[in-house]
Structure 1
Amino acid sequence: MAVTIKDVAKHAGVSVSTVSKVLNDWKTISQETKDRVHASILALNYTPNARAVSFARGTTRNIIYLTALAEGEAYRNPHMFDIMCGVFTNLARQGYTMTMMDISDDEHPRETVAEIIARKSADGVVIHGSVINQEIANLIIDHEFPHIVIGHPEFDNRLCWVDTNHLLAGQYAADYLVNHDVSPVSFIGGRRNELISKERERGFRAVLLKHHKKISPEYVIHTNSTWQEGYDAVRQLLAMQEPPKAIVCENNTIAVGAARALAELGIRVPEDLFFLTFDIYPYTSILDPQPTVVDINVYDMGLQAADMIVRKIENPSLMIQSYTTLPRVITL
């Protein structure tokens, strides 16, 4: 049976807390006590674990990643896992562990977060935007608990968050088409009230207006982000009296349907029409014809989120609300 810190404490005739303080070289512990504890460590051949070493520091060196992990989540939200890998990698470099916690099925997710805070089972939390709500936000703010939310919350808050700049991504898409002197252009978006789609469309429109290439209403189609609606939208656009010379799909799922329609119609890309979408995952690499992609390196965003949560732990009063990682245009 492995020797524990309790065994060392008993052998040395001191408390577990005292052993932890000796391991952390507290100056308030007498040299005599230190010598006795070190003698017990040698006698028992005890190897301190990270939890024992951090006990006296009042830290766990652990970060909890709160997210939704229901069946099929990897397909619905593939970017979450790239972000999570970035967070994990950078935390490990800085001597932290990361624990994943699924709260998608919790009837009362606020209670789960309250238990994390009360039990001090982590030094901080990284919260995926899909599971944040006002109750959880109020709880961690009231307790001044170190946190970083992945994604800009859609409600007023004093939360710390990091996000990609979807407005800027839309601007990059428009810049690409303006630089190729393409007109008219079209935009197939998600639902009108969907934040990411709205921001990408807004950035796209702003650059076109700047270059006096206003996009007419008939060239903008909103969908429920299904491949079938992407397919139908492209067929509708290309049946117009003056069809667009470029089609921009707000997400990969819409682009799947768009690519199918373009292939059926024998449209060559980019010779006959420019075809763009956002985000390289999950489908762009297998589409035919292949689109130009405005991508954001979400793994890098995870790396930066890890740096931010460590800074927040070191300075709990620090306010972090940041857009990070510039988009890049990729021609596949």
Structure 2
Amino acid sequence: MKVTIKDIAQAAGVAKSTVSKVMNDSPKISEETKTRVRDIIKQMNYTPSSIATGLARQSSNTVAILIDMSKESEFLNQFFYNIIGGVESIIGPLKYELTIANIQHDHAEGHFLHRLVLNKRVDGIIANTSVLTPELCAELNRLEFPYISIGEINPPGTWVDCDNELGGTVLTKHLLEQGYSSVAFIGGEQNEPLFLRRIAGYTATLRQAGLPVRSDRIINGRAAEEDGYAAAMQLLQNPEPPDAIVCMSNFSAFGVLQAARELKIQIPEQLGIATFDEYPLSPYTTPPLTSLNMDTFQLGASAGRLLMDKLGTTATPVSGQLLEPVLIPRLSSLRSRK
């Protein structure tokens, strides 16, 4: 039997008008009552027909990119602005505005779901997987509200991502083809989805080449210069050092270059280096870094296109889209086979 607003009111011990005011985030209702009613709405899996109809019918002609302002790394980098540019290149010509919305919960109007979604201030949402938690995706699916994840999510949901597993394969295969035989991997948090995808490509490629996957050749850490330097010093001063390294980022690779220079290790003769991401350092280091171009502008454009498809049809199929990275070989890894 379909749950009604009367059922919610009875379960919460309030009037039907109070439930309606809670759904409209009325300032006249106490936060305690709002929390209780919202919890019951969620527990009873109730979608108000007025909200569902309103979300489908009314349009703000605005799309939001969600960010978490507590994580500076998510918005103080070039990739974030490339994604914004890609999204805008698609939605702008279709007369949609783009807004950047913080997900912090201490806003005077409450949780961003109430500020943006239930108050109909945006028509759709784009966010990465650190923001789009499984719980949030479930709620957006319940409300039938259009959203796109930048980063792979489990169905049901629509997402777009760079093929990071393929990236790990391409970089490792390139180093092996250049004649290196002991390839290490530096950077990335151990349970981070991005690291898990990239390391999967790396390990699969080693196994396919008949080479062992050694845990002491995989060193986790931040994708930062100092962590790359420390990891490289640990690896390169080992009695049996690797002869090549795949790096999680340009900054990790820059740290590896510094360590090799201090240890007087010749690149690429004695050590090959290849890294994810083309920007910001790859073309400018000494020697220039072999890198994998992950086209984040195209990532944003694909997310914008998928969202516009959702807004333009009543039944967009659940889908995922992987963008292929492009290898850019440079002097840090190019050597002749011996």
Determine if the TM-score, normalized by the shorter chain, exceeds 0.5: yes
Whole-Å separation in 1 of the counterparts to 2:192 and 2:109: 24
Q: 1:189 aligns with which of 187, 195, 201?
A: 187
Q: 1:110 to 1:255 in 2, by over 3 A?
A: farther
Note if contact 1:113-1:136 (Cα within 8 Å) is conserved in structure 2: no
Partner of 2:213: 215
Deviations 1:121-153 (A, max 9, x none): 222111233322344323211110111111124
Give the aligned partner of residue 152 of structure 2.
152
Partner of 2:99: 99
Return the match for 2:165 from 159, 164, 167: 167
Shift of 1:288: 3.2
Report Cα offsets for 1:300-321 as digits up to 9, x if no partner: 1111111100111122432343
With over 3 angstroms needed to count, the CA separation of the structure-2 counterparts of 1:69 and 1:96, relative to structure 1, is same
Give the Cα–Cα distance (whole angstroms) in 2 for the partners of residues 129 and 68 of structure 1.
11
Answer whether contact 2:63 2:98 (CA < 8 A) is retained.
yes
Change (3 A) 1:256 1:105: farther
Secondary structure (helix, strand or coil) at the match of 2:98 reads strand
Report what 1:143 is aligned to: 143
Q: Residue 68 of structure 2 aligns with which residue?
A: 68
8 A Cα contact 2:84 2:297, kept in partner: yes
Indicate if the aligned counterparts of 1:110 and 1:136 stay in contact, CA closer than 8 A.
no
Q: CA deviation at 1:278?
A: 0.5
Verify the 8 A CA contact 1:145 1:316 in the aligned structure 2: no
Structure-2 separation of matches of 1:227 and 1:109:
40
Aligned-pair CA distance for 1:206 = 0.4
Query: 1:168: how far off?
Result: 0.9
Separation in structure 1 between the aligned mates of residue 261 and residue 108 of structure 2, nearest angstrom? 48
- Kept in 2, the 8 Å contact 1:146–1:316? The answer is no
1:117 aligns with 2:97: no
- Measure, in 2, the Cα distance between the counterparts of 1:230 and 1:58: 50
Q: Which amino acid aligns with 1:142?
A: R
Larger CA deviation: 212-221 vs 192-201: 212-221
User: Mind listing any 5+ residue stretches in structure 2 that lack a counterpart?
Assistant: 1-56, 331-338
CA distance in 2, matches of 1:108, 1:201: 42
Change (3 A) 1:89 1:58: same
The count of residues paired between Structure 1 and Structure 2 equals: 274
- Equivalent residue number for residue 33 of structure 2: none
**Is the 8 Å Cα contact of residues 105 and 112 (structure 2) preserved in structure 1?**
no
1:327 matched residue in structure 2: 325
Greater Cα offset, 267-276 or 126-135:
126-135
Query: Is the alpha carbon distance of 1:109 and 1:254 closer, same or farther for their aligned partners in structure 2, counting shifts above 3 Å?
Result: farther
- Structure 2: which amino acid aligns with 1:97? E
**What's the offset of the Cα at 1:62?**
2.0
Contact 1:170-1:202 at 8 Å conserved across structures: yes
Match of 1:243 among 241, 244, 247: 241
Shift in CA distance, 104/267, structure 1 to aligned 2, threshold 3 Å? farther
Matched letter for residue 66 of structure 1: L
2:31 matched to which residue of 1? none
Structure 2 residue matching 1:324: 3-state secondary structure = strand
Task: Write the letter of the residue equivalent to 2:68.
Answer: A
TM-align CA RMSD: 2.6
Q: Tell me the distance in 2 between the aligned counterparts of 1:303 and 1:75.
A: 17
Mind listing any 5+ residue stretches in structure 1 that lack a counterpart?
1-56
**Counterparts in 2 of 1:74 and 1:297: CA distance versus 1, 3 Å:** same
1:53 corresponding residue in structure 2: none
Q: For 1:157 and 1:241, how far apart are their aligned partners in 2?
A: 47
Structure with the greater alpha carbon radius of gyration? 1
- SS of the residue 2:307 aligns to: helix
- Residue of structure 2 equivalent to 1:198: 196
TM-score w.r.t. length of structure 1: 0.74
- Other structure's SS at 2:111 match: helix
Three-state SS of the structure 2 residue aligned to 1:181 is coil
SS at match of 2:317: coil
